[in-house]
Structure 1
């Protein structure tokens, strides 16, 4: 029996994948960085914390109660839950189970959906508090007993009224945050999505917050101001992951890892000087591509870059405020391949203004670019995005049943194309891109290890799941 009672149990709730979504077969299971950093902040304040990552432990919703009763018998003072729009119903369901098992615990909900829809979240009968925005220090203050009225970013109920405290300030210096509490996670159970890694063990890291992009479909929980951890902090965490957990590959999940080039150059220099052996991948924007920097990153172990291409039609790109051109996309794709780095490209169907012709252009453009991995989704107007506001204002939002927001079906009524037709092109894109003989041959020729075979088979299974689902 531990000397100190359990202060906080943080739960990454179950998320049952939907049929037809390719991620059912090829989804990643990566460390929940948000709650892991919160856990570290709480521990630094002297609190005792545990984490249950149901994704990593493969705990289905129907098994959650039994799992908690078996492995988490000690009642916590606080339970922290997170959730996106896509899986928020599972967060609410988890709150209900926790209330039954731990009737005296205070249940706290955070994450992007609760931050944007706090009134909805606090109206759930089993939710006691909602923390909006960056919640590390708000949660710490709540668990430490600070008066509720003095905690910024907090939403709570008092005498039948809902109170929304003043919003949190953004954490300007991310170096004040401790390293994620990896020691509380099952680090041997994480792996990236099929096609996005070569070496295991592989985990994710986040080194910045904020994105200056204006994409209408993208929710920016951390605002537009870019705040970044220093190269030294990033390198120290990488070194810790390699030496402590034997990590061989790291996926940097920043919205745009390459925003500030001097930071990336310094980080790459640290890797090269240290002679650390690991591979890595990152997300970037095509308009920030730089051939010289790409070559340096490749030398420092970069294996793959993920670009959000979105559409093969310039008018659609302009409509969704992508702030780029087809020619810039072609150039970034060319430079990345020239540097010897794999390209992973994401495309979306069902944007405002979409037609059959624009969707055909997107498929043709994907085939022209011929990235190593292509991801096709149906656009989702999540709450907090410009696209959501546009859909509500124009009366074209079909539903606010959040379980339908699964990236495989339209939830907006479009003027020029039916939802059924959007889904048809979504499936067609996978079929036309991945079932080309030239692509299949290229992938077969790249096979070097048994892991490559497993990845190829899993990817093929995922594609079949999409193209055969109606």
Structure 2
């Protein structure tokens, strides 16, 4: 944004995120770019709008400091203010809207994101929010800023004469190549870093190259639908090389729900990276039931150094209940293939699923130790609005609260008949202690130290584990 400009069309804010009892920055694990806002910014700039992004996460602006930052750090009153929010931090998005209204009373405030898409009535009922964009927001936001009649904008929720109006849904963008590259130039690119244990080289950044997931996991919401839509290998390659040349990026984390689903696309991207000898390492998310031994070896040659799998449980019955569509044996095989390809394994597990018992949670801990991934992440399952699990919890009357700030992956928000919430939290803490405090694991990490980044990762990880087990 040109600081000398007297006109600002759109200010996009990634809202502050504070936890009860303290600021998130005391325990923050990573800070990654707000991709959704950055792509919306690029679309708006393409249409001729003057745009600025204020990423309070990266700049570490606390909620109580936001008003002063808006008063002194924004060069001109914006016509529109765009906000985003997940279920966990939606209360802070609402608070940000209130603060923004007090500083810029004439601006139109627009809210998007997965929570607002699933709870549009709740969102539009907030007195400081003028418009809610449901689903993919790029083109709806562009139409709104251009002055199009709100009644004609698909995917928009708004007020007419004080009453909520929910326009028909907007179709998903079929070809993601029509979207411009994210507006990285509007972001504080030197402030981002991935989660502990997920990178080796800095500076590092994340990218998103597809939308949609064909999986049917009951705990996962699908804001972009089940149909996978992708960016072409050429577009991905161009963005990677732009990040390397412009910002000196040395490692990229692909944040697609399932990066490896469309195998021909990944093979072509790998071929381009290998042929061009692109100096970057990368990681991605995948599913064990789509693991491919040959593709993993090709990915390794192209710079892939870590794959994250959602393992979730060590009990087959629980895997079936949450519709993971896999087996324990397939999990073992995928982990071994990944290890054989000399790619690190990062594995995620969840406790507190419907049907969970003390025995199934013990199996999950034992399975994590058996698999022995390079990094293990343990969470308590959260039935976010828009998921099958949320609908089940509401229907069966087991949802404890709709205070969204409680949906933080560390405590149960469902009352299960087979196991208490206290037992679920105890298993969550025990998993971290038993997995990370094994002598074998500690020695493996110590003997694997090669760089200063390795040392930093070990100490940061230790701090995080102690924070969990000490609760």
Q: TM-score range by the shorter chain?
A: over 0.9
Shift of 1:275: 1.0
Contact kept? 2:15, 2:92, Cα under 8 Å: yes
Task: Say which of 328, 340, 361 aligns to 1:326.
Answer: 328
Task: Answer yes or no: is the 8 Å Cα contact 1:6–1:75 preserved in 2.
Answer: yes
- Asked whether the equivalents of residues 20 and 465 of structure 1 are also in contact (C-alpha less than 8 Å), the reply is no
For the residue of structure 2 that corresponds to 1:125, the secondary structure is: coil
Partner of 2:95: 93
CA distance in 2, matches of 1:303, 1:19: 37
Match of 2:372 in 1: 370
Give the counterpart of 1:103 among 94, 102, 105.
105
Distance 2:98 2:59 in 1: 20
Cα–Cα, structure 1 residues 414 and 205, in superposed 2: closer, same or farther, change >3 Å?
same
Where does residue 277 of structure 1 map in the other structure? 279
**After TM superposition, what 4+ stretches of structure 1 lie above 2 angstroms from structure 2?**
1-4, 17-26
CA spacing shift, 1:241–1:79, aligned 2, 3 Å: same
Q: Residue 134 of structure 1 corresponds to which residue in structure 2?
A: 136
CA deviation profile, 1:273-293 (whole Å, cap 9, x unmatched):
111110000000001111111
Question: Would the aligned equivalents of 2:9 and 2:51 in 1 still touch at CA under 8 Å?
Answer: yes
How do 1:49-448 residues align onto structure 2 when only pairs under 5 Å count? Answer: 49-448=51-450
Contact 1:40 1:178 in 2 (8 A): yes
**Structure 1: 5+ residue stretches without partners:** none
1:43/1:4 Cα in 2 relative to 1: closer, same or farther (>3 Å)?
farther
- Give SS of 1:268's match: helix
Secondary structure of 1:50's aligned partner: strand
> Displacement, 1:2?
3.4
Indicate the larger mover: 12-21 or 159-168. 12-21
Q: Which has the higher contact order (CA 8 A, sep 6+)?
A: 1
Cα distance in 2 between the residues matched to 1:21 and 1:37: 28
Secondary structure in 1 matching 2:129 = coil
Query: For residues 158 and 304 of structure 1, what CA distance do their matches in structure 2 show?
Result: 50
CA distance in 1, matches of 2:51, 2:211: 25
TM-score, scaled relative to structure 2: 0.98
For 1:423, what is the secondary structure of its paired residue? Answer: helix
The structural deviation recorded for 1:67 is 1.4
SS in 2 for 1:130: strand
Whole-Å separation in 2 of the counterparts to 1:42 and 1:329: 43
Task: Report SS of the residue matched to 1:224.
Answer: coil
Check 1:327–1:18 CA distance in 2 against 1; reply closer, same or farther (3 A cut): farther
**Residues 36-95 of structure 1, C-alpha deviations (whole Å, 9 max, x = no match):** 000000000000000000000011111111111221141100000000000000000000
Match of 1:44 in 2: 46
Match of 2:282, SS? strand
